[in-house]
Amino acid sequence: MIGVTQETSIRLVSEFRQEKLIEVVGRNIKILDVDRLLDVANIDI
């Protein structure tokens, strides 16, 4: 995440966790729902 503040990054990670898009274990982030995460990020692949 280039160009965002630490507070914004933390807030986004918290929101993604609440929405069950990601899981955080220690220093690792596991993507649980790739399609929804891409949709939230407005990314087409």
Whether 6 has a pLDDT exceeding 90, the answer reads no
Query: Pick from 43, 41, 12, 6: which is nearest to 29 by CA?
Result: 12
User: Model's pTM, two decimal places?
Assistant: 0.77
Q: For residue 32, how many other CB atoms are within 10 A of its CB? A: 14
* pLDDT tens-digit readout, 9-43: 899 999 999 999 999 999 999 999 999 999 988 87
Helices (H), the chain: 6-18, 34-40
CA separation (Å) from 43 to 35, 36, 37, 39?
A: 10, 10, 9, 6
Torsion of CA 19, 21, 25, 29, to 10 degrees: -140
Where do the structural domains in the chain lie, given as residue ranges? 6-40
Q: Which residue has the higher pLDDT, 7 or 44?
A: 7
